[in-house]
Amino acid sequence: MKNILCIGAGYVGGSTMPIIASHCPEYRVVIVDINEVRIAAWQSDQLPIYEPGLDEIVRQTRGKNLFFSTEINRHIAEADIIFVSVNTPTKMFGQGAGRAADLQYWEKTARQILENSTSSKIVVEKSTLPVRTAEAMERILNSNGKGLHFDVLSNPEFLAEGTAVRDMQNPDRVLIGGRETESGRKAIESLVEIYAQWVPRERILTTNLWSSELSKLVANAFLAQRISSINAISALCEKTEADISEVAAAVGRDERIGRYFLRASVGFGGSCFKKDILNLVYLCEHYGLPEVARYWEQVVKMNEYQEARFAANMVSSMFNTVAGKRIALFGAAFKAHTNDTRESPALEVCRALLEEQADIVMTDPYALENACLDLKEMATRVTYEPDPYVAAKDAHAIDILTEWPQYTELDYEKIYRSMVKPAFIFDGRNLLDHKRLYDIGFNVYPIGKPPLSRLVQHDS
Ligand code: UDX
Ligand code: UDX
State the chain's maximal CA–CA distance in angstroms.
Answer: 77
The secondary element (H helix, E strand) that includes residue 389 is helix 388-392
Q: Measured in angstroms, how far is the CA atom of residue 436 from the centroid of ligand 2?
A: 29
Helices (H), 30-94: 36-42, 54-61, 72-78
In the predicted model, residues of the chain with pLDDT beneath 50 are 458-460
277-302: pLDDT as tens digits: 999 999 999 999 999 999 999 999 99
Q: Choose which residue among 31, 51, 86, 104 to substitute to test ligand 1 binding: the one with the highest number of ligand atoms within 8 A of its C-beta.
A: 86
Ligand 1 pocket mutation pick from 87, 112, 374 by most atoms within 8 angstroms of CB: 87
Query: Could you say which ligand is closest to the alpha carbon of residue 161?
Result: 2
Please report which ligand is nearest the Cα atom of 269: 2
pLDDT of residue 91: 83
The set of protein residues with a Cβ atom below 6 angstroms from ligand 2 is: 157-161, 220, 223, 227, 261-263, 265, 268-270, 272-273, 334-335
Query: Could you say which DSSP state residue 375 is in?
Result: T
Least distant ligand from the CA of 17: 1
- The pLDDT of residue 405: 97
Ligand 1 and 313: CB distance under 6 A? no
Catalytic residue among 6, 237, 272, 350: 272
Predicted local confidence at residue 355, as pLDDT: 96
How far does the centroid of ligand 1 lie from the alpha carbon of residue 84, in Å? 9
pTM as predicted = 0.93
Nearest ligand 1 atom to alpha carbon 85: 8
DSSP alpha helices (H): ranges in 88-145?
A: 104-116, 133-142
Beta carbons of 210 and 131 less than 8 angstroms apart:
yes
The half-sphere exposure of 126 on its side-chain side, counting CA atoms within 13 A, is: 26
Question: pLDDT tens digits for 180-205?
Answer: 999 999 999 999 999 999 999 999 99
The pLDDT score that the predictor gives to residue 89 is 84
Q: What does residue 86 show for φ and ψ, rounded to 5 degrees?
A: -75, 160
Active site includes 237? no
Nearest CA to 233 among 448, 431, 428? 448
Residues 6+ apart with CB under 8 A from 405: 336
What's the rounded Cα separation, in Å, for the pair 281 and 286?
9
Of 279, 1, 349, nearest to 131 by C-alpha is: 279
